[in-house]
Amino acid sequence: MNSHVMPAAERKVRVDLGDRSYDILIGPGLIAAAGNEIASRLKGRKVAVITDENVGPRYLEPLMASLKQRDIEAVSLVLPAGEKTKSFEHLIPACEAILGARIERNDAVIALGGGVIGDLTGFAAGIVRRGSRFIQIPTSLLAQVDSSVGGKTGINSPHGKNLIGVFHQPDLVLADTDVLDTLSPREFRAGYAEVAKYGLIDKPDFFAWLEKNWQAVFSGGAARIEAIAVSCQAKADVVAADERENGLRALLNLGHTFGHALEAATEYDSARLVHGEGVAIGMVLAHQFSTRMNLASADDASRVETHLRAVGLPTRMTEIPGSLPPAEKLMDAIAQDKKVKGGKLTFILTRGIGQSFVADDVPASEVLSFLREKHPQ
């Protein structure tokens, strides 16, 4: 499809970071148009493309063809798919591929894939030659609305998720909405959890719009592009205000402290739980915990649960297949999560739909008794 057949559907969101500002382009046909978009922004003529075994067979060839049309020389590396790829084991070949491609200062590294490939490739781009130019072509809804924007990159450790990495902003994000049609329903739902999150952080009108229009977002077209554009703009605004998460940006972790603990508890086994599902359960828990702390009404917590359940996301720990470790072990994972300062737990809590805030003095004892309640042994 020619990317200019439907100009009305295309959206551009600017991430405003001074001389490191960049565009997020959202719309159909952007992989086929990638060569044009990249050539118009890139001084260099070489790229290294990193993708995975799920995405590569579908989209690597059209991307390479598009680059070739604009005389951009490209090499590619295909890594295994899945969360376990975010490791030192796969970071090394990624770095070697970039070096082997003789990528220089004006050339670029391209991540073609979901959040895992984006995080790993961005980290490799951030450390090779002390920082190479980087382009994100996110192929999952989760990556399009969240992980591809904002420059957080990294890999996992046995100690927890994303604990090893750097901030390295992309130079361009191409969110091709056509590719979302090939996602499994489960993956699309998981990405939708992050879309809903933006409403729950500080956009109650957007959350209400999603309650009414989620089916249209799922079926594609204008509503989907709108939801992605609103999400990207929300993230872009937060990143521009607080790039390195000294304050406001922490709000983007709504639901993530609980969610990451559940991911660790399932040993990142995507058959049991994927990131967006952990976030969905985590957002419900964050609203319920806020109710317990007398900050928000129980009605809001149940409204969040009702909506996420309607779209088919899990909302309770008991819905995770297999057994979970005891509440004390989940508590250990929460303490190891990177949102801990001086031994006090930092949580994103809420006073209601769209009224989230950073609480950095949450008593661990309250969290533990809440977890015991929600996760009876």
For residue 291, say whether it is annotated as part of any ligand binding site: no
For residue 118, say whether it is annotated as part of any ligand binding site: yes
Show the DSSP H helices in 203-320 as ranges.
204-219, 222-241, 256-265, 275-292, 298-310
Active-site annotation holds for 245? yes
For residue 116, say whether it is annotated as part of any ligand binding site: yes
For residue 256, say whether it is annotated as part of any ligand binding site: yes
For residue 211, say whether it is annotated as part of any ligand binding site: no
Give dist(CA 343, CA 118) in Å, integer. Answer: 31
Active-site annotation holds for 186? no
Give dist(CA 184, CA 52) in Å, integer. Answer: 16
For residue 119, say whether it is annotated as part of any ligand binding site: yes
For β-strands 356-362 and 344-350, DSSP reports them as: antiparallel
For residue 110, say whether it is annotated as part of any ligand binding site: no
Q: Which of 249, 303, 339, 374 is catalytic?
A: 249
For residue 121, say whether it is annotated as part of any ligand binding site: no
For residue 226, say whether it is annotated as part of any ligand binding site: no
Asked whether 10 and 228 are in contact (CB, 8 A), the reply is no
Active-site annotation holds for 253? yes
Asked whether 272 and 184 are in contact (CB, 8 A), the reply is no
**Starting at the edge strand that comes first in sequence, how are the strands of the sheet with 340-341 ordered?**
340-341, 344-350, 356-362
Active-site annotation holds for 152? yes
Q: Which of 203, 256, 374, 375 is catalytic?
A: 256
Give dist(CA 15, CA 240) in Å, integer. Answer: 7
Active-site annotation holds for 4? no
Q: Which of 90, 168, 189, 235 is catalytic?
A: 235
Active-site annotation holds for 194? yes
Q: Which of 54, 156, 162, 253 is catalytic?
A: 253
Q: Which of 10, 187, 194, 226 is catalytic?
A: 194
Q: Under 8 Å CB-to-CB from 218, ≥6 apart: which residues? A: 188, 192, 224, 311
Active-site annotation holds for 260? yes
Active-site annotation holds for 249? yes
For residue 152, say whether it is annotated as part of any ligand binding site: yes
For residue 35, say whether it is annotated as part of any ligand binding site: no
Annotated catalytic residues are: 130, 152, 194, 235, 245, 249, 253, 256, 260, 275
Annotated binding residues for Zn(2+), as ranges? Answer: 194, 256, 275
Annotated binding residues for NAD(+), as ranges? Answer: 115-119, 139-140, 152, 161
Annotated binding residues, as ranges? Answer: 115-119, 139-140, 152, 161, 194, 256, 275
